[in-house]
Structure 1
């Protein structure tokens, strides 16, 4: 057996296991991650955040001294980015004196992300530019029983954002099965799908089906993708938008070339887990 020291945290109930492997000596297999994230046989989480010094990451071309967030989905697959995960990762690093100061940078597979720690306990992540493609995409639920037009959005990872109409009921959508999309080649590596209800011009509600995890209580990159698609649909590329998710409230500040995601992040427990050899 192998002993893994871990912490458990969440950002608006999007929950993660955090572990430190400074020199990349203890890589986790997909089977390890699936077991850790199993809510009956393991600890239970939407994903695993492994902290590695960036110089140990193959092909990393940035600052070698910063911490790299090696993120895995609950099914063991690798993801480029995780917005809520960056805040939980930052909270863990700060609480354990692995970083200091009001602002820090971390490495991700989508590039460097800057975190800002606020006096109210919230954390902001500078998410970089959001790219919304013009190519048409459709998303279907329940084997095609319900079909929606969607926007293809890149926030360092792929999203299909459905802006619901005034007669659509966000809470009635069945997200127990994965959505399917057309054309299939639009998202060759899978996609996070967001369903978004407008409350008013700067206030949205959202549900999300995350690739590799299923429906989750929150998705930070999905919130950014949703706010950006909503702003574009209403002729604006900037503004402050509140997004209600099942796990709480997040906010997005949009400028011409940057999206800032802000919300809570807490560490709720620590322990050791026995992984099979």
Structure 2
């Protein structure tokens, strides 16, 4: 059994990930190992794990068997369908690791939410096609302490509840040290990512997010798409570009004819090796 794991560390607007390559699914990570690797004190630290594996090894994947699949795990080891910042970082990783042909700028990536297409731009950012967000006003209410707000439900391949804050609500004052509640509970039986939004100007918003399986993060890529979609719906708009500020920076979300694109930075900041807990070093 492999005792030492080679890894990279990357982030997109400070939404950070540990990345590993396991093309042939020879070394799936256990839940304990995922939690260890993402631990910010005892491990490497990250909001999640991105494992690069060929699509043929993922039971849920029925597309191109040779596509690079982003096997994404949250910090608590739960599986997530999609991660917008993660896809950008994953695309950067594939290029820097030489896992795609030299000079490649358009990369198909398999996810549990379906195929995504990433484009590496000349300015260093990565633009990702995020599919067709589904937005609905379905009576969901989000609660923090004694305060509650109506939320817009948005599916970006994973579930979101978007709260558009009103006058008198202070985004910076919200307590996101614990998960917000929601009701009815059956609206999100597998949990939900919750975004809180301030509108700064037409086409310009600021948000905070509590991600299921992680906690409050500095950014959530699918969350920024959900926010742009919810704000557009609230204003009776369908197409346009939104600048979305998050604690970790800012991204751009483009909506056109029911589809969405997310553009933002993606960096690989470190590489190394780590001894997994409970492993014996091979001779």
Range of TM-score over shorter length: over 0.9
The equivalent of 1:112 in structure 2 is 115
Alignment of 1:248-259 (within 5 A): 248-259=249-260
Aligned residues: 275
In 2, Cα distance between equivalents of 1:181 and 1:135: 12
Deviation at 1:134, TM superposition (A): 2.9
Alignment of 1:180-199 (within 5 A): 180-199=181-200
What is the TM-score of this pair, normalised by structure 1? Answer: 0.98
In 2, Cα distance between equivalents of 1:96 and 1:50: 13
The equivalent of 2:264 in structure 1 is 263
Q: Secondary structure at the match of 1:17?
A: strand
In 1, Cα distance between equivalents of 2:147 and 2:233: 24
The equivalent of 1:121 in structure 2 is 124
* Contiguous gaps of at least 5 residues in structure 2: none
Deviation at 1:99, TM superposition (A): 1.6
> In terms of mean alpha carbon deviation, does 56-65 or 16-25 score higher?
56-65
The equivalent of 1:242 in structure 2 is 243
Deviation at 1:26, TM superposition (A): 0.4
Q: Is the 8 A contact 2:137 2:151 kept in 1?
A: no
Q: Is the 8 A contact 2:54 2:69 kept in 1?
A: yes
The equivalent of 1:8 in structure 2 is 9
Deviation at 1:96, TM superposition (A): 1.4
**1:133 and 2:112 equivalent?**
no
What is the TM-score of this pair, normalised by structure 2? Answer: 0.95
Deviation at 1:257, TM superposition (A): 2.2
* Contiguous gaps of at least 5 residues in structure 1: none
Deviation at 1:59, TM superposition (A): 3.7
In 2, Cα distance between equivalents of 1:105 and 1:236: 29
In 1, Cα distance between equivalents of 2:185 and 2:268: 38
Q: Secondary structure at the match of 2:273?
A: strand
> In terms of mean alpha carbon deviation, does 119-128 or 162-171 score higher?
162-171
Alignment of 1:162-201 (within 5 A): 162-201=163-202
Alignment of 1:28-67 (within 5 A): 28-67=29-68
Q: Secondary structure at the match of 1:16?
A: strand
In 2, Cα distance between equivalents of 1:20 and 1:257: 34
Q: Secondary structure at the match of 1:86?
A: helix
**1:103 and 2:106 equivalent?**
yes
Deviation at 1:165, TM superposition (A): 1.1
Deviation at 1:176, TM superposition (A): 0.5
Q: Secondary structure at the match of 1:92?
A: helix
Deviations 1:130-180 (A, max 9, x none): 0012311001113xx111110111000000000011321111111011111
Q: Secondary structure at the match of 2:115?
A: strand
Deviation at 1:58, TM superposition (A): 1.5
The equivalent of 2:148 in structure 1 is 147
Deviation at 1:104, TM superposition (A): 1.0
Q: Secondary structure at the match of 2:44?
A: coil
In 2, Cα distance between equivalents of 1:71 and 1:105: 16
